[in-house]
Structure 1
Amino acid sequence: MKNREVSLRGKLVRDMMKNMMDSAMGHKIQTGEYRMDPKEPAWICPPDYEYEIVEMPHFKMEYLRPTGVCTGRVILQLHGGGYIGPMKNIYRDFAIQYCRRSFGGDVLTIDYRVAPEHPYPAALKDAVAAYQWLIGEKHYDADKIVIAGDSAGGGLALALVMYLRDHGMELPAGVLVMSPWTDLTNSGASYQTNFDRDPQFGGTTDNMLFHSTYIGDADPKDPYISPLFGSFEGFPPILFQVGSEEVLLDDTLRAAEMVRKVHGKLRVTVYEGMFHVFQMALRLIPESREAWEEVSRFLEIIYCIERKKEGKAVKRVKSGRERSRREA
């Protein structure tokens, strides 16, 4: 096993998070109390972007487009938050990143219904409705849609693709997930091996991972709740990113193995020393910058974008191939 050394700034941010999680605020984050009622200033859309609130029957969506640009590409973003947290400003910042890294693509982020008021299948139904809106109302081609999500949103992204496939709908061009929560039974070995290492969800089972109100009366092994227990047959290419310190590490590694068993197209990268959804650091730490650059490369491949200034075309993902910063 060859590991890459964690950056000094990455270590500092990880340690700062651990110190914060040891405080009273940390308990509110672990249990989801903070996510359920975030206090944030109004988000200001950067210049050169158009930002629209779209009202759906049961939820709202936020539609971001670069002014004067029409590529036909769009990313459907499903935010994290343990299925109990609403849309937050960091995901509006993520939308800007996705727009830039898809070279002017549009981004639709949905503020799907959350538990405990709206347990499963509310979030999945909203995600399906948003996908159908992109195709039926805005006339995007399915092969120009990429579904992205982190944490619970990552699990929801995979569940959405399973639902679309099972119901005979057109599948998106690709899926990219950051630290996806794929197993709501929390059965992975990393829940024990990283129990004392994870700065966010380690050291306790008194958190929203082990007390999920999203499941409701359903079976937590239902693949539309825990995609790990479903089939990845016929999936489009998937990019998995995860931190090595996460209790959720095996949620990624086991899902990736399921994709590999059906000869699916994937890339999985384990970022050494990193915590849950470290991509939220944006440009603050080298590991986050590298992860976002990996997102760019993945989108270039999926959308077959040719970077003319570099004088070379982008190649498609090869079946069954995997690249990782951890190499056996």
Structure 2
Amino acid sequence: MAFKYRRQPLKTFYLLFSIPLLLLRLPVWVLRNLLPSWRPRRQWSLGRCLAVEFINAATGIMVETSLPAPESFEQMARSAAKTGFVWFEPTPPDLITGDIARFAELNGVKPDRTGGFWYSRNSAPAGQKASPGEKVLFHLHGGGFVMGSGSPSFSPSATTFQGLFEHVPQISRIFAMEYRLATGPPLPIHNPFPAAVLDIIAGYRYLIQDIGVEPSNIIIGGDSAGGILAYQLTRYLAEGGSLGMAGALLLLSPSADSALRRNVDSMRNNTRSDYVSTWFDAAYGVTSLLGSLSRDELDKPWLSPGSVMFDDAAVKGLFTSFPPTFILAGEAEMSRDSMRKLRDRMAADMGNNQVTYAEVVNAPHDFLGLSLLEPERTEGLKEIAKWAAVTLV
């Protein structure tokens, strides 16, 4: 169970013991990564190996104590003039339909007001009306459904957007959506699935009806957990959403198997080459996402479209109405195989020419958001650029 030492004074005692222990573990990490043949990937530098070891160990401390406290939307709004934050209205009842309505009722989830951050190439005012033909990336941040932000102060998001602006000239602006973060046992249950989906439906409506972006000019995107939210929004639109289908889908290391089962090769073999193994072991994000839903839902397509726990026949036809899609994966990711499975299922419905998959050798999870992960980061951005030059026209 996560957060065993969340209460004081245990938390302080645990931190006083664990943080110095990180330094004591450094010689062990150096020794086991000293020779290239001992490293998770021969091509990795010793420095990268140590960085991955440190992130995993630091994550272990976090899941034993507490997550970083998120900013409230009200706090974000107070710095709107500097950050480009805007509010928008909750999802109206007539847009809550189908399975999303059913899940919302089961988990007692209601629409709520939220917002997001505008990023622009040319310092356009936040919330400026769309120009004819303007391409806007509607991006959903990662963080395991329980942390993270699209804010400029959240380095992974800011680093990703900087790279996309640098390499993908077709994207004029980015709207980074904020959605309600989930909490779960041992903490009180708040904002389980589909709370975030209700929020992103509201964000998509805002872009179309308030900003005036044509659906065909919207690229729905997301990294990690945000990648699965992007898939969920696209599925909602494909299954009868009245807002219109987006023009493209951009999935960056999408969490295609929320159950995090160790029943595929990459989940077993890439534990040392990825920095999320400690987080996956804790499974706090998964627990928080479920709320009152059965754990069986983790092995079904809404939460795990890349799971091997159901046959491909179970999702036959699910992706037929999806727009052209790009999936970026890291070869060194623990969740690599679930992304390959998602790719194959999408291509079976949409055709190989509508699904572009790029797997960057030696890259761990969500590598566009970490500037130290070069040259893999730039290689991934160049792959997106090649796809965008053909697709976003």
Aligned to 2:85: 53
Read off the aligned partner of 1:136 and give its amino acid letter. Q
| Matching residue of 1:93 | 159
1:202 and 2:269 are equivalent in the alignment: no
> Per-residue displacement from partner, 1:126-174 (whole Å, max 9, x unpaired)?
1111111111111111111111111100111111100111124411111
Q: Distance in 2 between matches of 1:22 and 1:55?
A: 35
Q: Which amino acid aligns with 1:273?
A: N
Give the TM-score, by structure 1 length: 0.77
Question: Which residues of 2 match residues 1-328 of structure 1 at below 5 A?
Answer: 8=43, 10-12=44-46, 14-21=48-55, 23=57, 25-28=58-61, 33-34=66-67, 37=70, 52-57=84-89, 58-67=113-122, 70=131, 72-87=134-149, 88-100=154-166, 101-103=168-170, 105-116=172-183, 117-169=190-242, 170-187=244-261, 189-190=264-265, 192-194=267-269, 196-202=271-277, 206-208=281-283, 211-218=286-293, 219-228=297-306, 230=315, 231-264=318-351, 265-282=354-371, 285-304=374-393
Secondary structure of 2:137's match? strand
CA contact (8 A) 1:177 1:239 kept: yes
Q: Aligned partners of 2:192 and 2:148: how far apart in 1? A: 14
RMSD between superposed Cα atoms in Å: 3.0
Stretch deviating more after TM superposition (52-61 or 252-261) = 52-61
Once the two structures are superposed, what CA deviation does each residue of 1:211-255 show, in whole Å capped at 9, x if it has no partner? 431121222245332233752122111111111222211221010
Choose 61-70 or 117-126, whichever is displaced more: 61-70
CA 1:118–1:139 in structure 2 vs 1: closer, same or farther (change >3 Å)?
Answer: same
Residues matched between the structures, number: 289
Query: How far 1:286 sits from its partner (Å)?
Result: 1.0
Answer 1 or 2: which has greater helix percent: 2
Partner of 1:315: none
Deviation at 1:203, TM superposition (A): 6.7
Cα offset for 1:37?
4.9
State the partner residue of 2:26.
none
Amino acid at match of 2:134: G
The SS at the match of 1:91 is: helix
Runs of at least 5 residues in structure 2 that lack an aligned partner in the other structure: 1-40, 77-81, 90-112, 125-130, 184-189, 308-314
C-alpha distance in 2, partners of 1:157/1:14? Answer: 30
- 5+ residue gaps, structure 1, are 1-5, 44-49, 305-328
- DSSP 3-state at the match of 2:382: helix
Q: Which amino acid aligns with 1:270?
A: E
What's 2:33 paired with? none
For 1:47, the equivalent position in structure 2 comes to none
Aligned residue type for 1:135: I
Q: Is the 8 A contact 1:159 1:223 kept in 2?
A: no
Distance 1:260 1:75 in 2: 23
Residues 248/138 of structure 1: CA separation in 2 closer, same or farther (3 Å cut): same
Looking at structure 1, the residues matched to 329 and 377 of structure 2 have their Cα atoms a distance apart, in angstroms, of 11
Identity rate of aligned residues, in percent?
21
For residues 168 and 22 of structure 1, what CA distance do their matches in structure 2 show? Answer: 40
Q: Which runs of 4+ in 1 moved over 6 A?
A: none
> Whose radius of gyration is greater, 1 or 2?
2
8 Å CA contact retained: 2:227, 2:253: yes
> Residues 21 and 95 from structure 1, CA distance in 2 versus in 1: closer, same or farther, beyond 3 angstroms?
closer
For residues 45 and 382 of structure 2, the distance between their equivalents in structure 1, rounded to whole angstroms, comes to 20
TM-score normalised by the chain length of structure 2 = 0.65
